[in-house]
Structure 1
């Protein structure tokens, strides 16, 4: 007997967290194929989810706009959007922050989320009717999957995650990216930026990787500072090219065409895992428990110890990673 369920997922940001959350969609649909899944997300991040047929509707909010303007009218507008939503059988807050929990307060239906011991902002659990325990230091993807699995009684296992189908999609991408792809050499994407400087592998060592591998290296960027670092890599390697800045839809398309992605612990790097594209994630001050290590998705970690409960933004140990260690793994994946 098939059940029709209306399910709402609240995961507003950030890029990597949305990627690591979106894997649950295929598992929900496997068990409840007739379900309708709506996803509440920050407008600036919604393109990550677009063109996924497992999503019934993407509801865009702009809480960051209110944070910037501090105008009550902007907040009222967002609350109005949430209040206009239909009643759901399940509302699942995958984010576990006060802002995401507050959104569920204005929604209609039973709310599921992490208990107070399972999230950084324990007060968020006050807003949930059903609370799920999952250690905060557990694998990030496992945490995302299990809060949904336990809410909906899906019984998702690690084996299911390892055998996942690609779950990021694109359409009508900017065709300029195809001008940068090579038919003679392997296409390797470098993701050189992230949210903190200490999470960034040195640009000089990215040059060493490019010059050692001697393949078609495509450097992507998302800020002016990253662009400058990309220009440095391009200027110091005959094999590296700085790609024009793209939107998220076109970025998905570019990653889908590459043979390997090498990058810092950040959203675009995790997109490769989501699309079943070979990748090497470089870790410094963040824990490798953020990702799944597979036959094609590898990690390289600096020697420092990481406390997942209190990350040290002054840990620049990522600089100590030998570029030739990364090259060795890259050759195996290529």
Structure 2
């Protein structure tokens, strides 16, 4: 049970890999916000994805169609009987969703949960330090709940082939993930331009995806300042995964797609300007770097310096 956000969902993938490693015959279902349902589907150990639409439903509670969707969701999640229902999110909303499933509910102890009240919904509770990275917390909770030890580096378990998009350049490319949920997490546009021009001189095209209209407008504006850069057309999450899988590197702000790049083992530099990357920065087994932090803005030269080793 890990419903949102995109980065949180990606952080839960290694726990799925651990479960499959220790229980090869395990049948694993994952309840997730419908807008992020494509992420669990990238992991071959996930049998079924159960979409939930809390974000959309709470904005449309006056509509009869919303309540019909809620009723259908409750029937779907209660249709199977589980040996364990694990809530790795530790929020009241995720704990209440877990109560809809059939089986013993397992989750964080009150002192470990992001919302202590969520612990009242679980049959068994486990203490996991809140000072650990989110990926590590998810792995440790699943391990404690199912009785194994979470050893080794995190394995996200996703293996996506590079995409053969007709609009991609023939030169090697680097993906710029410029969009994020808050304006204070953005990296200055002048820095993106400087970095893109430097990469172009090294023989790499910059590809700039964007989700919303505002994000695509920013991508187009930045692409216009960088020689041979390209603002990507609207893309689904599986298509973005394929784009990232074929990239020589990815540079991204504090956004879920930056974590997806690391999950795919694409060399990644993550840029933080408003948050501390210590507990939620990128973490994986391939080349990855976290630069910046709260009220810290890394320079374009610093990012390029980190990338030299993988782009040489």
Counterpart in the other structure of 2:167? 179
Match of 1:193 among 167, 179, 185: 179
1:294-305 to structure 2, matched below 5 A, reads 296-302=287-293, 304=294
- The alignment covers a number of residue pairs equal to 303
CA drift of 1:149 comes to 1.2
Quote the RMSD (CA, aligned, Å): 2.0
Structure 1 residues 77, 228: closer, same or farther in 2, change over 3 A? closer
- In the TM superposition, 1:1-334 aligns within 5 A as 10-71=1-62, 73=64, 74-75=66-67, 77-83=69-75, 84-157=78-151, 159-161=152-154, 164=155, 166-167=157-158, 169=160, 175=164, 177-182=165-170, 185-214=171-200, 215-289=204-278, 290=280, 291-292=282-283, 296-302=287-293, 304=294, 317-318=295-296, 320-334=297-311
SS in 1 for 2:59: helix
Q: Distance in 2 between matches of 1:104 and 1:295?
A: 33
Q: Secondary structure at the match of 2:220?
A: helix
Return 5+ residue gaps in structure 2 as ranges. Answer: none
Matched with 1:307 is: none
Structure 2: how far apart are the matches of 1:55 and 1:293? 20
CA distance in 2, matches of 1:287, 1:221: 24
Shift of 1:72: 7.1
Following the alignment from structure 1 to structure 2, what is the Cα–Cα distance between the partners of residues 294 and 65? 35
CA distance in 1, matches of 2:142, 2:287: 26
| TM superposition score normalised by structure 1 | 0.85
Alignment partners' CA distance in 2, 1:29 and 1:115: 24
User: Residues 118 and 181 (structure 1 numbering): CA distance in 2 closer, same or farther, change over 3 Å?
Assistant: farther
